[in-house]
Structure 1
């Protein structure tokens, strides 16, 4: 990773300085040349943004910024309180000092410029704050222009370190948001970093691309090596697929949350292996339908394909064709690499999912709609597969389908003996003998295994 400063620009794009020279090679500090007149009048009249104050704090030594703050009217007690509240983190103290001046005294670049001049300190530090850095990146453009996926942010968060505050400000979060995150995830740096990254990505005022993230790391002097390492093996088509799925859902989110009943859609998704029985429990533990729908959308966004296509098909099958049509995308928008086709070349043993569970779940919809559960539950109690209390839980369902769901969900948590006893119970009634054979002989492909394995990770 290398960075190059090409221009020093004001907020409106005015070229303040073109040529920079190294005036102290030992410290590698950059300074305007002798002809630089500093910021323009228009730039001086501006109130610094939080990001600009962060950059100024990074470029000022502690004692210099302390003296500047006092010179501009801040009381010594404020500085002392900040040092006490943030022991060992002088960077945050420096930044919050400037924020205090901005919020309480509404300082503009004019006051900062005047203060530096009166202290006989170069005002070209303000030029450095306003300049635009151009990053020369070794990350391919088709990756840089994509929005980072959950997996990328999850892998990146532990590598960032103790720069939560600086990164959050550089990415546009407010001080209040960052303080709330730090309080919520006290002493857990990885969780704090992760929350900052996800909060930034959620705001689409500016497209939250990997390029923006790389620039932020460079601006706060972190460097982007950790980001480069995380994305080195990422397929750009996969990232584009995530964007397609996320954008389609965001555009229709309110309709989905407010309009649909998801019980049958969950049955459909269970049968196609894109959610697990535990996923379903986590979704249905939410009291309100809106919250259940939100929980399902979170899973669909995270799982991508084939969960997204199965979800769309479920909407179409159960009365929500208009929404399904709006969510549908053309197959060429999604690269085959974003699906689980590659699993066809891998052995079943590579996926730690019992075959009987896959067979049972692939017949989920048929089981819950076709069987009368009473005699089957009696057999399973007699065989010690389920308890009497389990039988009562099964009976707590309000409809025959709900009771069958309760039964099938329990079986998916049992071992293979439970599965075999279930087949025996079905075969006791000639009506269900064909169903038992169908379940037992259900083909299980590597893609089936990979799909369900993805739910269980």
Structure 2
């Protein structure tokens, strides 16, 4: 090996002899400068037993205690999130075993320098995106064994996992992937976002993160990322929204998986906590459950004037509302502001509605909207 290249290795990984050795071998391999014969000769000269090569070449098959129906599933976000802090200092070895390129691993190392957990997480999530070989828990377990990492941490993470839930996750992810280009390029999502917010599977912050992207395609991608992460009920509500707002064919292509999901597992259980146990104000839930009805039925002008007079909304905020091109756009901005105000803003909003007899029934309906533990559980997933 050239001395200059060797010096670069030592410079790039100071004090880490293991990584120096690892990247030395990778450099020689990628430049076609090494075969097992050269490694064998090198070990002889270093007076290291050649049996190490036998160990490397012999794949130790796992005798797993994890049930097959879990091993054959793709790990969920939750599994990978819980696993990453337990992996330790094996980022490069694990990445190579899982099929990542050296360039990918070095990029991850540079991006998350000094954050070992973040490096491990990025390696696992990058691996899971590869569908050349199905990225199952079985593949992950074998990789741990190949690099001499015990699988106890993996067993601990998946011990209480329901395989039906994992299969349902795969159904959602696969069906979205199959139709991803159609969803990204063919739909306008403004009304679908209204629908999803009303059904509590998106928060006002989610909407802001989606709409901060300038292009419709990028907004659609951002929405898909959220749906893939949260799965049900966000997936079912998305399908229902597509069907409601003119994308029946696409909705039907996605809907068949909703049936499979319901047969496999309910992904968002009803929580047992009482309403007071949730850290979400009831008035915000009531506003959001009536989101679509509010933005499509009210004329904002007198309501905004009342809110300005009561110092709930500032004059600048009132002018911001008026920048909307349509009444619904203006109402959406008004709702965004109300979600960020304290409860007094909600009270004054209802007062403003009641000042106009046309909206008095709507004010009563909002105030009397039932809020259940399922509502709280669903909306709570938006803030995890």
**Fold agreement, TM-score > 0.5:** yes
User: Deviations for 1:288-314, whole angstroms, at most 9, x for unmatched residues?
Assistant: 111110100000011111000000010
Cα drift, residue 366 of structure 1 = 0.6
Partner residue of 1:374 out of 285, 301, 308: 301
User: Deviations for 1:3-26, whole angstroms, at most 9, x for unmatched residues?
Assistant: xxxxxxxxxxxxxxxxxxxxxxxx
Deviates more, 1:349-358 or 1:364-373: 349-358
Q: Does 1:406 align with 2:359?
A: no
Say if 2:59 and 2:146, in contact at 8 Å, map to a contact too: no
The residue number in structure 1 matching 2:2 is 75
Say if 1:238 and 1:335, in contact at 8 Å, map to a contact too: no
Relative to structure 1, the CA distance from residue 398 to residue 205 in structure 2 (aligned partners, 3 Å threshold; closer, same or farther) is: same
C-alpha distance in structure 2 between counterparts of 1:78 and 1:85, whole Å: 11
Superposed CA RMSD in Å reads: 1.8
Partner residue of 2:350 out of 409, 423, 427: 423
The residue number in structure 2 matching 1:397 is 324
Say if 1:237 and 1:334, in contact at 8 Å, map to a contact too: no
SS of equivalent to 2:179? helix
The residue number in structure 2 matching 1:219 is 146
The residue number in structure 1 matching 2:238 is 311
Which protein shows a greater Rg? 1
Cα drift, residue 116 of structure 1 = 4.8
The residue number in structure 2 matching 1:85 is 12
Say if 2:201 and 2:234, in contact at 8 Å, map to a contact too: yes
Unpaired stretches in structure 2, ≥5 consecutive residues: none
Between Structure 1 and Structure 2, which shows a larger proportion of helix residues?
2
SS of equivalent to 1:442? coil
SS of equivalent to 2:192? helix
C-alpha distance in structure 2 between counterparts of 1:433 and 1:375, whole Å: 14
C-alpha distance in structure 2 between counterparts of 1:125 and 1:260, whole Å: 57
The residue number in structure 2 matching 1:56 is none
User: Deviations for 1:239-281, whole angstroms, at most 9, x for unmatched residues?
Assistant: 1111111000100111111111100000000000000000000
Q: Does 1:338 align with 2:295?
A: no
Q: Does 1:297 align with 2:224?
A: yes
The residue number in structure 1 matching 2:89 is 162
SS of equivalent to 2:232? coil
Unpaired stretches in structure 1, ≥5 consecutive residues: 1-73
Cα drift, residue 211 of structure 1 = 1.2
The residue number in structure 2 matching 1:210 is 137
Deviates more, 1:327-336 or 1:138-147: 327-336
**1:49-198 alignment runs, 5 A limit:** 74-113=1-40, 116=43, 122-198=49-125
Relative to structure 1, the CA distance from residue 332 to residue 244 in structure 2 (aligned partners, 3 Å threshold; closer, same or farther) is: closer
The residue number in structure 1 matching 2:175 is 248
Cα drift, residue 415 of structure 1 = 1.6
Cα drift, residue 114 of structure 1 = 5.2
Cα drift, residue 427 of structure 1 = 0.5
Say if 2:236 and 2:258, in contact at 8 Å, map to a contact too: no
Cα drift, residue 232 of structure 1 = 2.1
Relative to structure 1, the CA distance from residue 254 to residue 289 in structure 2 (aligned partners, 3 Å threshold; closer, same or farther) is: same
Q: Does 1:201 align with 2:131?
A: no
